[in-house]
């Protein structure tokens, strides 16, 4: 009985040691992307075995459950890689059988675009996967004296238009309309007037408070007033 007990204890120690050694890493590059752009997930299985299936799950902002976004095989060194395109702030985790990686977060910045329509008139738009109607945009000018951006006006986004990729008619054949992904792209916009000295650089900014919780703060391109 004593021999069997020793064997059992030894087997348990070996199993525990093996479990402790087995690990799966996960990193994201970059960890912050602009809406519509991709991030690359990379990791390594500690056994360094090839052809091992790794599943990647994603938990998107605004949801409480994760969903599988893809599976990938490890290469000859046990490494794996996968490209992902989050539509909002998302947390990723990789799994290989019963081994899970640490979770990594990728933040998403909406696309903010400013256009000078004519002298004193501007149009601003925010492209993302959610409706930003009613959110505030800060219209700013650059002060050379202060060497920073200064607020000129606070503008509320007034309209939102869903953007869907669709097939167009070619030679009298109408192709079907499709919407990629689980959410359509939304463009929230506003037109406004503002008095700024001619030639000054101006831009639009979406603050962290207005972008939260599912997006990071964002700034537009700059134009000349």
Map out the domains of the chain as residue ranges. Answer: 23-108, 111-224
pTM: 0.80
Q: What is the three-state SS of the chain?
A: CHHHHHHHHHHHHHHHHHHHHCCECCEEECCEEECCCCEEEEEEECCCCCCCEEEEEEEECCCCCCEEEEEEECCCCCEEEEEECCCCCEEEEEEECCEECCCEEEEEECEEEEEEEECCEEEEEEEECCCCCCCEEEEEEEECCCCEEEEEEEEECCEEEEECCECCCECCECCCECCCCCCCEEEEEEEEECCCCCCCEEEEEECHHHHCCCCCCEECCCEEC
Per CATH, the architecture of 23-108 is what?
Sandwich (2.60)
Per residue in 154-171, pLDDT (tens digit) is 999 998 888 765 544 444
Q: Could you tell me which CATH class the domain 111-224 is placed in?
A: mainly beta
Per residue in 51-104, pLDDT (tens digit) is 999 999 999 999 989 999 999 999 999 999 999 999 999 999 999 999 999 999
Per residue in 17-64, pLDDT (tens digit) is 444 568 999 999 999 999 999 999 999 999 999 999 999 999 999 998
- Taking every pair of C-alpha atoms in the chain, what is the biggest distance, in angstroms? 94
Which residues make beta-bridge pairs with 120?
A: none
Q: Same CATH topology for 23-108 and 111-224? A: yes
Q: What are phi and psi of 91, to 5 degrees?
A: -110, 135
- What is the average pLDDT score of the chain? 87
């Amino acid at each position: 009985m004593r021999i069997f007990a020793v064997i059992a204890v030894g087997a348990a120690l070996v199993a525990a040691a093996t479990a402790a050694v087995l690990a799966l890493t996960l990193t994201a590059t970059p960890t912050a992307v602009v809406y519509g752009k991709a991030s690359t997930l990379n990791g390594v299985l500690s056994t360094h075995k090839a052809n091992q299936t790794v599943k990647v799950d994603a938990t998107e902002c605004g949801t409480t459950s994760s969903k599988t976004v893809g599976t990938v095989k490890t290469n000859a060194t046990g490494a794996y890689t996968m490209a992902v395109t989050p539509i909002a702030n998302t947390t990723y985790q990789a799994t290989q059988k019963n081994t899970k990686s640490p979770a990594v977060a990728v933040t998403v910045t909406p696309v903010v675009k400013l256009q000078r329509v004519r002298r004193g008139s501007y149009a601003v738009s925010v492209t993302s996967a959610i409706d930003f109607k009613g959110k505030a945009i800060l219209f700013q000018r650059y002060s050379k004296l202060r060497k920073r951006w200064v607020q000129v006006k606070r503008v509320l986004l007034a309209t939102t238009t869903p953007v869907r990729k669709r097939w167009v008619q070619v030679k009298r054949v109408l192709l079907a309309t499709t919407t990629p992904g689980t959410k359509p792209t939304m463009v929230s916009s506003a037109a406004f007037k503002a008095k700024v000295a001619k030639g000054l650089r101006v831009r639009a900014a979406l603050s962290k408070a207005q972008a939260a919780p599912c997006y990071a703060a964002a700034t537009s391109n700059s134009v000349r007033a």
